[in-house]
Amino acid sequence: SLPKDVTIIEVGPRDGLQNEKNQVETEVKLKFIQQLKEAGITEMELTSFVSPKWVPQMKDAKEIMTRADLVERSIALTPNAKGVELALEAGANSLAVFVGVSNTFNQKNINRTTAESVEALTPVILKLKEQNVFVRACISTAFYCPYEGKVEVDEVIELCRQFVALGVDELSVADTIGMANPVESYELFTRLRQSFPSVLLTAHFHDTRKMALANIFASLQAGIDRFDSSAGGLGGCPFAKGATGNVATEDVVNMLNSLKIDTGIHLDTLFLAIDTIAPHVSHPIETGMYRLYQNE
């Protein structure tokens, strides 16, 4: 049966903008975050503390994190100990580490093999859990890798097991390049739910092939009630060939509304947040619900 409530983790200010060529002004990002909060978002990835040489768009991470109107769970992405230190100094109350199941993708994204990344993150995560910091582990290329092809369910489970053993609070498991289908989504999330009953389990779909809503529905049926999405459907990882936007928050909320599943998100306010960011990104925002709103 379907859940009554679903939590949306808004990733627009981070995943949504990281691949954007125009350098978006810090003030615009802060207003976007503020309006997302007003729309009812309680968990949000605000920015990432990564190398500004790798991802120039995120070079204002410190200013974003120190000045933003924080939500209950204000998450910063951190690839390594240095990022963790900077994010905590800036006031992040939750951190997200990220590792790809596929070695080739992980190398291109964070310049280490998957095993090297887990090894380097191990003492970092253990220390964060001693300090009671909320830790989310983002697991990339959990279905397909743009360089290595199909990824096996057992490999995903094995990598997740390593993070769960370190005490992470949440797994956000990602279809990085939007290639999963609903049967694959149902199977992976069913296995994950059975394997890790005590962690928060979140699905992160990119909508490259317009299968994200179908995948979300399949994941709901597998018992998942947490989804990452991005206002305006912005997003994509700069180091994953062929990656495009995340599933759009407004389209997810609309689908859930029509299924009588509550998200606590007000669409009218969400559209105002999209109005704020739309003029600053280099392509028109053409998600189903945003277009309807614009034509009203």
Catalytic residues: 237
Q: Which stretch binds ligand HMG (CB under 6 A): 1-9, 72-80, 207-215, 266-274?
A: 72-80
Q: For residues 54 and 293, which CB has a smaller minimum distance to ligand HMG in the complex?
A: 54
Enumerate residues 110-129 that contact ligand HMG by CB under 6 A.
110-111
Burial bucket for residue 131 (CB in 10 Å: 0-12, 13-18, 19+): exposed
Least CB distance from residue 225 to ligand HMG, whole Å? 19
Of 15 and 184, the one with the shorter C-beta distance to Mg ion is 15
Closer residue to Mg ion, CB minimum distance, 283 or 295: 283
| Residue type present at position 49 | F
Half-sphere exposure of 265 (CA within 13 A, CB side): 32
Neighbours of 7 (CB within 10 A): 18
Q: Which does 47 bind (CB under 5 to 8 A by kind): ligand HMG, Mg ion, none?
A: none
Q: Of residues 15, 20, 170, 175, which one binds Mg ion by CB under 5 A?
A: 15
Question: How many other C-beta atoms lie within 10 A of the C-beta of residue 101?
Answer: 26
Q: Which stretch binds Mg ion (CB under 5 A): 12-20, 153-161, 265-273, 278-286?
A: 12-20
**CB-count exposure of residue 125 (10 Å: 0-12, 13-18, 19+):** buried
* Residue type at 153 in one-letter notation: V
Q: Which span sits near Mg ion by CB under 5 A: 14-22, 59-67, 109-117, 272-280?
A: 14-22
When binding is defined by CB under 6 A, the residue of 140, 215, 230, 276 that contacts ligand HMG is 140
CA distance 97 to 131: 16
Indicate whether 175 belongs to the interface with Mg ion (CB under 5 A).
Answer: no
Q: What is the DSSP letter of 15?
A: I
